[in-house]
Amino acid sequence: MKFKKPQTLQQIAALLKVDFVGNANFEILGINEIHVVEKGDIVFVDHPKYYDKALNSNATTILINKSVACPEGKSLLISEDPFRDFNKITNHFNPFIASKASISDSAKIGENTIIQPNVFIGNNVNIGKNCIIHSNVSIYDNSVIGNNVTIHANTVLGADAFYYKNRPEGFDKLLSGGRVVLEDHVDLGASCTIDKGVTGDTTIKAGTKIDNQVHVGHDTVIGKKCLIASQTGIAGCVIIEDEVTIWGQVGTNSGITIGKGAVILGQTGVTKSVPGNKTYFGTPISESRKKLKEMAEIKRFLKDRNH
């Protein structure tokens, strides 16, 4: 999530009421999660296990709950509760604004796009040309939709990320300040749910087709010309490369990559990253031919033992 204009280290420290290490005028351009941080971003870290990863990431300002040596060319914000203060930044620069109409006045809708009755389109949504948005679709604030996109009834774009911190008093929600981006010629079936990014974009690239009742988690990137069948659940921060086929009722772990041209057969649990141009099956996942061979050998062994 980029700020509308650059901030200084001192300005952010004053907003959070925390101490800082570094030049007071050190430039900050936005905030991001660890897997998508860029130069100029703030990243937060609140567990010693991830200190080194955050300090050595592309982020140039680290919101951290311990005084540590500041890496050269970077700055620190010292916070008692980085999770809470990361939420403060999100809420300050990207606050929730209630809609006053079913289709926001700030939404931009391209020519020849058809909006069916009972569609909700939030603030600052941008929809391209020649799209069809069917009834009861909800498109949350800041979503971006390309040209020639079809979205079927009851689909939701831009719900919050499923991201919580477990505290003694209950689960504390990490605020979502990202977007959903659909590129050209994407089709979404009925009752799909595409969550927005926490700080970046959940992206579905050009030409991808998604069946009914598919869930896509926060900050996931789905490549070009993918096919994803019904009841698939894709976790957050997944990368699905181009021309991947995923059949029905597949589930994935978060943070994995599915390589270009891979085929994931139905009811597979994608528990780890897998290379492209192969077919996979089973839980835990393995190559289909290998898995089927193993199953045949087990069946043969049991048959021989029973005789």
DSSP assignment letter at 160: P
Contacts by 166-172, CB closer than 8 A, 24 or more apart: 172/83, 172/84
Where is 91: in which H helix or E strand? helix 82-93
CA distances from 28 to 19, 39, 67, 199, 262 (A): 16, 9, 20, 15, 39
DSSP 242: T
Does residue 185 carry a catalytic annotation? no
Do residues 204 and 210 make contact, with C-beta atoms less than 8 angstroms apart?
yes
Cα torsion angle, 173, 175, 178, 180, sign: positive
Q: Are the beta carbons of 225 and 240 closer than 8 angstroms?
A: no
Mutual angle of helices 82-93 and 9-16, in 10-degree steps: 110
Residues 81 and 46: beta-carbon distance below 8 Å: yes
Contact between 236 and 222 under an 8 Å Cβ cutoff? The reply is no
In the numeric block, the tokens 């300002």 are attached to 61
- The active-site residue out of 134, 152, 215, 218 is 218
Contact call for residues 175 and 159 (beta carbons, < 8 A): no
Q: What amino acid positions are annotated as catalytic residues?
A: 218
